[in-house]
Structure 1
Amino acid sequence: MQSIQSFFHKDHKLPKLSGKEWLNLWLFIFAPNVLFLALAWYTNTARPILNWDYLWIGILWLMPYRILRIFASLIFVLAILFDFLMLLIQIFPFLDISAIQYFLPFLTVAPKSYLLGLGILFLYVLLMPYVMLRWGRQHHRGYGVILFLSLLGLGYHLRDVKYIDFSAIMGRSNYFLSQSQSYLYYDASKSDFILAAKRDPILSPMSADKEKASSRFLQPQSDKILFVIAESWGASRKSEMTQMILQKVYEQKSRFDFIQTGIFDFSGSTVQGELRELCGLAVENGYALSRLAAQPFEKCLPNQLKKQGYKTISMHGTSGLLYDRTGWYQKAGLQQNLFGENFHDLKRCSAFNGVCDSELRQVVGKIFAQYTKPDDKLFFYWLTLTSHHPYDLDDVHNHRFNCELWGMKPNGEVCGNFKLQTQFFDDFAMLIQQPEMKGVEVIVVGDHMPPLSDGEDIYPFVRWQAVSWLHFKIKA
């Protein structure tokens, strides 16, 4: 106690520092951020340039008392955990730490780059506290504390300033100049999106006047069925827009037994659209669907087809943990479920860092090629992803849809949505040309209207709260 009192009563003077000493001090301040900035760059994820959490810890590392420096090292490990989680939830969308166990079996087939990254992180957790602890002893405490506190004050003042203006969920927009990763994790875990995912849902049969595209499947059912729910495929205000989007599919109409398209009203989220089509159910209150018993899902279309001898398969480009799909898909009767975790070697797009739909098109063809015998029955359900809001133009490789022709902002979200939908259907047109797709009945339907956040007027281009559908059967 006496030594502490003497420390605060002593007349401390700050000596002059050389240029090298100043450089070392700045390196000491920014060093804990370097690894995660590099990981964010490598994985194309968002991260603040300066994480406040390490600034508080740095002050404790500079203290003359061993117990405080050891405590700082322990807190540093916790700060690393939050930094890592904020990166991880952008690649595999979940916020429940216990859910990490779901991914452990995938480590055996993970890309070498993933395993290398985990190895580097493990060594970092072991060695960095020791390095920083020793490094902190070499710097002048007075200057160090002043700099740390100044950066904290400046960082708080700039806490809402971004170096990239981007809007998304699950941490994908955290391009802040300075922020606390532990705070961002807490803030994300309290978002409406996450809270809804943790609440028990209430399921009820859809009202008789509500339409669903799956009711249009031929009776008796075709032996080969491809059912696609297209992310954010709304209803174009003008039929000519829809014709442009579907042009490459309609060019093949001579190869179809029939082809039809239309629209119907619907308001809801993606998972509500899925339950509408797969099960004829409406959902309220929340989306923790895996907590429900199997009984509400007994009448779902995949369950009905499974009883008739169909192999039922689903595919989605991001983590199966999102919307509890690893749980409720099985209850709905989908026997084999393929998620982003199963396709670690395929190219990723911006939406939830999921596998690009253009990549998954190849997977569809390969699976149908396994069911070409006359008595084979297959129901394949594909929930697309790349056209998810905010419709990143970096994911567009097909610019056939002419936004300027319709008066859309070339870099706006409306244009991005229409380009991504056109791109999907152009790729889809190539899929249905493959020989293994002969005799397949196809329905593609939107889950919900495209949400927008950039302020562009949607009315001239998209019908409010409506989705489109497409139905055809390829000649055997």
Structure 2
Amino acid sequence: MILQNLKNIIQTIDAPKWLLLAIFIALNGLFQWISIHFGYKRYFISAEIFLSFFLVAIGFKWIGSAAFIFSISQEIFLGMTKVFYLFNYSQISTITSFAFEAKPSYLAALAVCSGIIALLFIKSIKLLESINWKRVFTTGILLALLQGAFSFREGNFTHPSYLDRSDLIFGSSSYFIGNLQALNEQAFFLTSNDNVEYHKITQPSAASLSLSGPLPDKILLIITESWGKPKDNSILEKQITAITSNPHSSHIQTGSIHAVGSTIFGEFRELCGKIPTKLKFKNISSDENSVGECLPALLHSKGYKTVSLHGAHSTMYGRLRG
């Protein structure tokens, strides 16, 4: 009897409805694949994408289209919030200002992907004209109840980032972003107004190891952050060919130090031999209770003049306005 009823339900769904369902799953599946590829979690079915389809179904095409654009942007911000722990909305203008510094192939892939998403949604608008909005609304209620069952089963309804990927069926990307940002603020003490403390590092920094012996007249110190040293040493050699092949370079040393934390943690580690307890800096001074004497000051006492260069694009960190 159950199989017969299921068969009757399937027979009542015509080709346009199947196509609409396929497009909807494809859109959410695309972002699900991206989340797996970059290693972050999301709800398999975005509530924002679903809402945009519902708005179109009840006749609000332009509002639904705007909601769809918003939902896509939230999917992008969700990935950035998880991958870049300190990301927040105030950084969007900075990020977009150097977006065209990316590889042309990346920009082309983004344009093609955006075009495909736009075409799929335009096709969905036409298909939704033949769909009863009540059916869409009912589907949303069922998905919300299903997600509620998974969340309450795990005893965790308000913190989706703690759930397994298999339990993230239907929910809001915007809420997910807010939850992640709150957790990141707690992890990096961003909500505290207390002044920062600087703790001496327990292991030698790369700078202290490199500059421990007799110093030459000129020093070129390059500090990079990465996900680890290449297993194939030829990769590293290729990256520093411009330095090793320079006739004015000598006594070249390479090495790696295992350290974790944000970029500025590494900068304090290498230049000052200390690590801050948080990312809010009120007073940075040469006092021993603060940062203390950092590498440029130490070298200056030995007769050196320090010139520093930052490898990032000049639009980052608002340096063009500095």
TM-score of the alignment, normalized to the shorter chain, above 0.5: yes
Residue 36 (structure 1) aligns with: 31
- 2:233 corresponds to: none
Task: Write the mapping of 1:48-447 to structure 2, written as runs, cut at 5 A.
Answer: 48-63=43-58, 66=59, 68-90=60-82, 92-120=84-112, 122-123=114-115, 130-159=122-151, 176-193=168-185, 196-197=189-190, 202-203=195-196, 213-214=204-205, 217-218=211-212, 221=215, 224=219, 275-281=268-274, 283-284=276-277, 286-289=278-281, 299-305=293-299, 308-310=304-306, 312=308
Shift of 1:228: 7.1
Task: Report which of the two has the higher share of strand.
Answer: 1
User: Could you tell me whether the CA contact under 8 Å between 1:203 and 1:283 is conserved in 2?
Assistant: yes
**Contact 1:40-1:46 within 8 A present in 2 as well:** yes
- Give the 3 Å change call, closer, same or farther, for CA 218–185 of structure 1 in structure 2: same
Structure 1 contact 89–95 (Cα < 8 Å) conserved: yes
Letter in 2 for 1:48: Y
- The equivalent residue for 2:19 is 24
Encode CA deviations 1:404-430: one digit per residue, 9 max, x unaligned: xxxxxxxxxxxxxxxxxxxxxxxxxxx
Q: Distance in 2 between matches of 1:160 and 1:120?
A: 40
- How far apart are the structure 1 equivalents of 2:49 and 2:199? 51
Displacement of 1:179 in angstroms is 3.6
- Structure 1 residues 327 and 40, CA gap change in structure 2 (3 angstroms): same
Distance in 2, matches of 1:276 and 1:56, equals 47
Alpha-carbon offset, residue 20 of structure 1? 2.7
Residue type matched to 1:275 in 2?
A: F
SS at match of 2:305: coil
Q: Is the 1:200–1:287 Cα contact (8 Å) retained in structure 2? A: no
Distance 1:15 1:232 in 2: 50
Shift of 1:188: 0.8
The answer to whether the 8 Å contact 1:37/1:49 transfers is yes
Q: Kindly tell me: are residues 40 and 273 of structure 1, through their superposed partners in 2, closer, same or farther at Cα, counting changes over 3 Å?
A: closer
What is the CA-CA distance between 1:85 and the residue it aligns to?
Answer: 0.9
C-alpha contact 1:156 1:178 (8 A) present in aligned 2: no
Question: Paired residues, what number?
Answer: 262
The residue type equivalent to 1:52 in the other structure is: A
Secondary structure at the residue paired with 2:276? strand
Closer/same/farther in 2, CA of residues 206 and 52 from structure 1, 3 Å limit: closer
Q: Is the Cα–Cα contact under 8 Å of residues 229 and 274 in structure 1 kept in the other structure?
A: no
Give the Cα–Cα distance (whole angstroms) in 2 for the partners of residues 43 and 229 of structure 1: 22
* Deviation of 1:186 (Å): 0.8
Distance 1:205 1:141 in 2: 59
Kept in 2: contact 1:198–1:287 (CA 8 A)? no
Q: Which amino acid aligns with 2:135?
A: Y
* Alpha-carbon contact 2:17-2:131 (below 8 Å) kept: no
Q: Residue 110 of structure 1: CA displacement?
A: 1.2
1:340-380 deviation per Cα after TM superposition (whole angstroms, max 9, x unaligned): xxxxxxxxxxxxxxxxxxxxxxxxxxxxxxxxxxxxxxxxx
Greater share of residues in helix: 2
Q: Which amino acid aligns with 1:309?
A: K
Report the TM-score when normalising by structure 2. 0.58
Contact 1:198 1:288 in 2 (8 A): no
Distance of aligned partners of 1:22 and 1:104 in 2 relative to their CA distance in 1, 3 Å threshold: closer
The gaps in structure 2 that reach 5 residues or longer are 1-8, 155-160, 229-250, 252-259
- Decide whether aligned partners of structure 1 residues 88 and 232 sit closer, same or farther in structure 2, where only a CA change above 3 A counts: closer
Gaps of 5+ in 1: 1-13, 163-168, 234-255, 257-267, 332-476
Instruction: Tell whether the 8 Å contact from 2:143 to 2:170 is kept in structure 1 after alignment.
Output: no
- Structure 1 residues 211-267: Cα deviation after superposition (integer angstroms, max 9, x where no partner): 56256753664555768799999xxxxxxxxxxxxxxxxxxxxxx9xxxxxxxxxxx
